[in-house]
Amino acid sequence: MKNVATNVTNILIITTLLSGAALASIFVSADDVVDEINITVPVSCSMSGTGMTSHNAEITNGTYQANIGTTTLHAFCNDAEGFAIYAAGYTGDEVGGTNSNKLVGTTASGNSAIESGIATSAGNPDVSNWAMKLAMTQDSGDTSGANAFAIDSAPNVSGGSDASFDQYHVVPNKYTKVAHKNSGTDMMAMTGGVKLTTTYAAYISKTQPAETYSGQVIYILVHPSTALVPGACNPSGTTIGTNTSTDIVCMQDISSTNKSSILSSMTSEQQYTLIDKRDSKSYTISKLADGNIWMTQNLDLDLDSNKTYTNLDTDLGWNGTSYSIASWTPARSTYDSNTKTWCQGGTWNSQYNYCQNNYTPESYDPGNLYWNETLSNYSNWSTYYNSCTWDSTTHEPACDESLNPIATYITVSGTPTQQYHLGNFYNWNAAIASNNSSSITGGIVEQSICPAGWTLPIGDCYSVSAAPDKSFWNLVEQYGWDDDDRALGNGQKIWESPIYLGLSGFWYGRLGNVGSDVFSWSSVAYGDKDVYSLVADSDDYVGPDYSEDRVRGDVVRCVAR
């Protein structure tokens, strides 16, 4: 206000000398003040269904029946980029399983499932089948049809398209886009949202056994803000290969039977991005110099004690050539707080602040953090660690968080290098998908929390002959590992391209050695407490035969079987 008063005083003095006409041309105003108002309308999408009770039909042998039940899907979404509906059979097991798009007998005698197909009469051979059909229903509030769905066609094995889903079509055994809308819905003009109706048909062969056969179809709304189909892979993600029927977009798409053909389609040391079906997270992979397919990013799977993992999505039940039926429900979920003790199943050593004989799974998610190569200077971390004291009750450290340098490797601006995402830390029990590893006193364990088709690598140099294609030792030897100085040759760093094994440290009640070391689990036990892992440090040391206590939290890298 002082400046305003001074200006007014000056004007009054001038007006005693100038005419009134001159006064308007030299008037001086106060500073402007501008208010800015921003209103954000969040993306809001949902889908519901009416008529979704069981659709029942009684069909005699040798006949066809269409229009079995009608369900109306109501989709609301204000995303300006539109949205899509995906569908998949969901019968008897998870999407993509052996029976996922079949109608399966509901009793033990029902041993002749009905496959998905579009036959309306007896063929050669005479086979029962069932199909689905979609139709767009225009809402009464949309006289222009602007809010109509577009019904999609399904890709066939030749790379072209089959009939549109507005005709009877096979029920897909994996998530398939069946309808989409390219722009957002005018939600106020719609009394019931964008409507899509579904119905089913079936032909029953002359030899089909009498039985009740049941199946399900799951529909999911996806829009650009979610990007990924839950429980499936990114439909538009990076693929390996060019044939529609064999494109690899999921981690679980790689198996021991197709690995050799996939390898031939890959460019050596090029980074590819695939999706883990279990949580739709993406991972970089590469064909490295040992001729095998490796993850070039740490595993970031959050374990859930309410979820059962099976051989369809997780490295469980390996019998030497393929996966047998197997499952695992973790005893404990992944922690997202450092206040959880890692000694619930063991004995605390008060002298050394150390948990002994813990054979239960433990894991920790440190958040969306990226290792930064500039952190090779360990002094900042040492200062932080020296401030820590141990709580004798919780067996957890209490540290001066003002000294915590963790913020320096959270990517704040720019595009982070995906390969340097820290991922999660797991003790070895979690890494091998075990709720009690006390009986394991040595040897190679053939199961893990890796995606199905992948496994933990072999860790010690003496087991290379058992499985050289899965060996840490064999991998680093291809990059010039020198037995004398225990480092990679030619000055190459293990945390650089193409291996990207960043110095992510370890977890044990707190992060340790970030920027100084990396410890990555293998599948090889050493005695009843230790496990071989790969260790590397900022001084160029690389040792694939290093032993670590299984209770500590290390990172996980997987290699294709």
In order, the DSSP letters of 58-113 are ---TTEEEEEEEEEEEEEEE--TT-EEEEEEE-SSSSTTSTTTTSBEESSTT--SP
* The predicted structure's pLDDT at residue 88: 86
Identify whether the C-beta of residue 234 lies closer than 8 Å to the C-beta of residue 280: yes
Within 13 Å of residue 354, how many CA atoms lie on the same side as its CB? 8
How many Å apart are CA 379 and CA 383, to the nearest integer?
Answer: 6
CB neighbours of 384 closer than 8 A, spacing ≥ 6?
Answer: 399, 400, 403, 404, 405
Residue 168 lies in a domain: yes
Residue 94 lies in a domain: yes
Q: Which of 222, 239, 263 is the last residue of a domain?
A: 222
Same domain, 209 and 333: no
DSSP state of 138: -
How many Å apart are CA 153 and CA 512, to the nearest integer?
Answer: 52
Distance of alpha carbon 433 from its chain centroid, rounded?
Answer: 18
Same domain, 371 and 499: yes
Q: Which of 199, 222, 245 is the last residue of a domain?
A: 222
* The predicted structure's pLDDT at residue 560: 94
Residue 556 lies in a domain: yes
* The predicted structure's pLDDT at residue 19: 39
In which domain, by residue range, is 127 found? 45-222
Same domain, 382 and 528: yes
**Pairing state of beta strands 115-116 and 129-137?**
parallel
Provide the residue type at 160 as one letter. G
How many Å apart are CA 185 and CA 187, to the nearest integer?
Answer: 5
Least Cα distance to 265 among 284, 237, 293 occurs for 293
Least Cα distance to 61 among 132, 103, 121 occurs for 121
Same domain, 212 and 331: no
Identify whether the C-beta of residue 511 lies closer than 8 Å to the C-beta of residue 405: no
Reported in sequence order, the residue ranges of 340-418 that DSSP labels E, i.e. its strands, are: 347-349, 354-356, 363-364, 389-390, 397-398
Residue 388 lies in a domain: yes
- Residue 181 in tokens: 């809308």
Going 313 to 316 to 318 to 323, the CA torsion angle's sign is negative
- Residue 370 in tokens: 């990226």
Q: Which of 222, 238, 260 is the last residue of a domain?
A: 222
Burial class (CB in 10 A: 0-12, 13-18, 19+), 131: buried
Identify whether the C-beta of residue 412 lies closer than 8 Å to the C-beta of residue 540: no
Residue with tokens 């989409």: 180
How many Å apart are CA 202 and CA 170, to the nearest integer?
Answer: 11
Least Cα distance to 560 among 280, 316, 255 occurs for 255
**Strand, helix or coil at 253?**
helix
Residue 359 lies in a domain: yes
Neighbours of 127 (CB within 10 A): 15
Least Cα distance to 492 among 508, 513, 478, 506 occurs for 478
- Residue 363 in tokens: 């894991």
How many Å apart are CA 464 and CA 93, to the nearest integer?
Answer: 37
- What values do phi and psi take at 215, rounded to 5? -155, 175
Neighbours of 507 (CB within 10 A): 27
Same domain, 392 and 532: yes
- 210 to 213, 374, 517: CA distances (angstroms): 9, 70, 64
Least Cα distance to 250 among 234, 230, 263 occurs for 234
pLDDT tens for each residue of the chain, 561 residues long: 333 333 333 333 333 333 344 444 555 566 788 888 989 877 777 777 777 678 999 999 999 999 999 998 877 777 777 888 888 887 755 666 677 889 988 775 556 889 999 999 999 999 999 999 998 776 555 555 555 678 888 665 444 456 789 899 999 887 788 888 877 655 544 555 567 889 999 999 999 999 999 998 988 877 765 555 555 555 444 455 543 334 567 898 888 888 888 888 888 998 888 888 888 788 889 999 999 999 999 999 999 998 899 998 899 999 988 899 899 999 999 987 665 667 777 777 776 666 778 889 999 988 777 776 544 445 566 777 778 777 766 666 677 777 776 655 544 445 567 888 889 999 999 999 999 999 999 889 999 999 999 999 998 766 666 666 788 888 888 888 877 777 887 678 888 889 999 888 888 766 777 777 889 999 999 888 889 988 888 888 888 877 778 888 999 999 999
Which segments of 426-528 does DSSP mark as H helices, in order? Answer: 428-431, 472-478
* The predicted structure's pLDDT at residue 110: 52
Which segments of 268-427 does DSSP mark as H helices, in order? Answer: 379-386
Same domain, 514 and 367: yes
CB neighbours of 127 closer than 8 A, spacing ≥ 6?
Answer: 115, 117, 119, 205
How many Å apart are CA 458 and CA 118, to the nearest integer?
Answer: 48
Residue 291 lies in a domain: no
Neighbours of 307 (CB within 10 A): 13
Residues in the chain: 561
Residue 391 lies in a domain: yes
Least Cα distance to 250 among 264, 268, 265, 229 occurs for 229
* The predicted structure's pLDDT at residue 336: 79
Going 466 to 472 to 474 to 475, the CA torsion angle's sign is positive
Look at the chain and report how many structural domains it folds into. Answer: 2
Same domain, 209 and 95: yes
CB neighbours of 367 closer than 8 A, spacing ≥ 6?
Answer: 336, 410
Residue with tokens 């070895």: 428
- C-alpha R_g of the chain: 31
DSSP state of 170: P
Identify whether the C-beta of residue 186 lies closer than 8 Å to the C-beta of residue 146: yes
Residue 104 lies in a domain: yes
- The distance in angstroms from the start CA to the end CA of the chain is 76
